[in-house]
Amino acid sequence: MNLANTIREVPDFPQKGILFYDITTLLKNPQALKESIDQLTEHYRDIKIDAIAGIESRGFIFGMPLAYNLGVGFLSVRKPNKLPAETISESYALEYGLNTLEIHVDAVEKGQKILVVDDLLATGGTAKATCKLIERLGGEVAGLAFAIELTFLKGREKLSQYEIFSLLQYDK
């Protein structure tokens, strides 16, 4: 099946001039949901991965079924003050202002290979901050997986040292 046909394009969200690629219509479709998770699973089945890092909150959506299928653990990378135990944090620049992400200090064991999962690769700032958090804890980034990649925002350039896989690519 063609997953792209299940994505809804919403103009002017979250702000004027932005075309938003909406995954809720993909997830609502049982065949598309299954196909998206199966494609991710197939891509990573023979790659050594110890755990999946899902980025809040749509990274949880694709990351958890993948962790289940691969038989590995799952850790969450979250906005500030959501994780209950000891954390470290990374901040990164947005167009206006800063964003901050946190990870539990015990989420990653030294030397573990961690696959980062999110719904969207745009400029790559969120993914890059997540990789830094994993590496500060002694983990190794095994790769990054996304449902949607906005190729015109060149997020891959910011993440050029990592293997990147995306289910759908948009060039505008």
By CB under 8 A, name the binding residues for a copy of itself: 8, 10, 13-14, 20, 22, 24, 27-30, 33-34, 37, 51, 54, 56-58, 60-62, 64-65, 67-68, 71-76, 81, 83-85, 104, 106-107
Of 9, 42, 45, 58, the catalytic one is 58
- Report, in angstroms and rounded to the nearest whole number, the Rg of the chain calculated over CA atoms: 16
Identify whether 42 is a catalytic site residue.
no
Task: Rank residues 150 and 159 by Cβ distance to a copy of itself and give the closer one.
Answer: 150
Provide, rounded to whole angstroms, the least separation between the CB of residue 161 and a copy of itself. Answer: 26
Facing residues of 4 across strands? Answer: none
Question: How far, in Å, CA of 87 to CA of 139, rounded?
Answer: 15
Per the CB < 8 A criterion, the answer to whether 86 and 103 are in contact is no
Torsional class of 17: left (φ above 0), alpha (ψ -120 to 50), beta (otherwise): left
Of 35, 42, 56, 95, the catalytic one is 95
Task: Rank residues 17 and 30 by Cβ distance to a copy of itself and give the closer one.
Answer: 30
Provide, rounded to whole angstroms, the least separation between the CB of residue 36 and a copy of itself. Answer: 9
Provide, rounded to whole angstroms, the least separation between the CB of residue 172 and a copy of itself. Answer: 17
Task: Rank residues 42 and 154 by Cβ distance to a copy of itself and give the closer one.
Answer: 42
Task: Rank residues 73 and 125 by Cβ distance to a copy of itself and give the closer one.
Answer: 73
Identify whether 58 is a catalytic site residue.
yes
Per the CB < 8 A criterion, the answer to whether 130 and 101 are in contact is yes
Provide, rounded to whole angstroms, the least separation between the CB of residue 20 and a copy of itself. Answer: 5
Enumerate the H helices of the chain as residue ranges.
24-28, 30-44, 58-70, 125-136, 155-158
Cβ burial of 160 (10 Å; 0-12, 13-18, 19+) is: exposed
Residues 6+ apart with CB under 8 A from 157: 124
Active site residues: 58, 95
